[in-house]
Amino acid sequence: MFKIPDRVADLFGDNAIRVEFQQALLAAGQVQGHEMKYLEDGPFSEVARITHTRLHGVDLQAIPEGQRSLVAGVRGLSRRLITSGYAIHEAAKAGDRAQDDWNELLTFTRRKCEFSAQIADNLGWERCYTYILDRAEAALGSDRSDEDRDAGYAVLRHFASFYRADAGFQSSRFLQVPEAS
């Protein structure tokens, strides 16, 4: 089993996201009261993993209508936080570094993600990609460390790789990562 690198917590960890995870798990009836403390204080990467595992098979139609979007968004976000960790790990293992074309890659990826969010079966995708891409963009700022920049670039490559068959995708940007189980 793969472990989520701590870089995910560094780049994406956020108390507001922890609260969203808790709310979604409660709405889906997938958390016990005694687990709330761990969801509040446990390692962010493990909280994302627990959230993904618990929400993975949840039938969204069984969730109250007012909570569906929250649960779908958190389900997608927790899954892609895990795979973003894998992307960061794979890129680091290969010695891949952030490139100067990151803004072009970000534009391509956002455009493709925006289109995918409009597909009926992609409830929650917009919440997922906007949060992760915004954080990846911030990690690529000139004031950030090389390690942050490399990680942000790896995440952009990961998301762009979902659209590897589309016009405009450069095969050199492809990043193969395992799927979250």
pLDDT on residue 137? 97
Please, which pLDDT band fits residue 37 given cuts at 50, 70 and 90?
confident
Q: What is the pLDDT of residues 122-171, one digit of tens each?
A: 888 888 999 999 999 999 999 999 999 999 999 999 999 999 999 999 99
Name the amino acid, one letter, at 11: L
> How far apart, in Å, are the Cα atoms of 156 and each of 68, 142, 161, 169, 179?
27, 16, 8, 12, 16
Q: How far is CA 140 from CA 65, 109, 168, in A?
A: 37, 15, 21
CA distances to 67, 86, 104, 175 from 162, in Å = 27, 14, 16, 9
- Cβ neighbors of 144 (< 8 A, separation 6 or more) are 138, 152
What distance lies between CA 83 and its chain's CA centroid? Answer: 7
Model-wide pTM > 0.85: yes
70-125 pLDDT per residue, tens: 999 999 999 999 999 999 999 999 999 999 999 999 999 999 999 998 886 788 88
**Residue 4: predicted pLDDT:** 47
* Residue 21 confidence (pLDDT) above 80: yes
Name the residue with higher pLDDT: 20 or 34: 20
Of the candidates 56, 55, 84, 74, which has an alpha carbon nearest to the alpha carbon of residue 16?
Answer: 74
Q: What was the pLDDT predicted at 26?
A: 95
